[in-house]
Structure 1
Amino acid sequence: MSESTCPFCTLPANRILRENVDGMVIDDGFPISPGHTLIIPRRHMGSFFDLSETERNSLLSLLEDAKWRLDKEFRPDGYNIGINDGSVAGQTVPHLHIHLIPRFHGDREDPRGGVRWIIPEKADYWSSR
């Protein structure tokens, strides 16, 4: 996917909630919870591991800002923070993006295991199921 066809490289300005020199924050277009947010670098790259130290620090600053906004607006009880790095990890848009997903008591019957549920048969390591 080229920059000219990348949905994150061609975002309309009205989608951007917050930004700095290296990145931007947007609402996820397909949220899995209220307030599901994406933190995206400006530079078109696929992997978190391709970020420079400056870019990484800038994105983490935006992540903190986004959390503060979600704390005020949605008052979640917790968060999942995730990156799908590579197509085998589930990345569908080949432009790095960090998911900040607010979690709420009762949004899942048993939330233990969190991100481990990407491979359901390995998620529950605490019981004898």
Structure 2
Amino acid sequence: MPAVPAVPRVAERPAAGSRTSLDVLDCCSPVDAHQVIDAGEAELLAARFKALADPTRVRLVSLVAAHDDGEACVCDLVEPVGLSQPTVSHHLKILVDAGILTREQRGRWAYYALRRDTLDRLAASIATGPAR
């Protein structure tokens, strides 16, 4: 009869409270409390990301940013997105309410400008946690 190879024995787990080098490898990296977003910041960021979760609004932000002086009249934004002026104004209002754009009324027309500080905070929140 052929010899059966020996089955290696599985090592028993160490007693509670003791650690081995394998335990360190199985463990998650520690959380840096300075990079964790608190509940209030998470609500604000979620509202801003929700405002940007529409392709038309992303295009509008891009169009405003592309203007030479960093601001655009609503009349300049209607044709490029192919929507009616009231619909474009509705999308712009959502972006203003989220703090992504500012709005200034000049006579009959409203002019919109990017809030770069808000966009910088959104980008920083994705890359490193809450903005400092």
TM-score (norm 2): 0.25
Instruction: Pick the structure with more strand per residue.
Output: 1
Task: Tell me the TM-score normalized by structure 1.
Answer: 0.26
In terms of fraction of residues, the more helix-rich structure is 2
- Larger Cα-atom Rg: 2
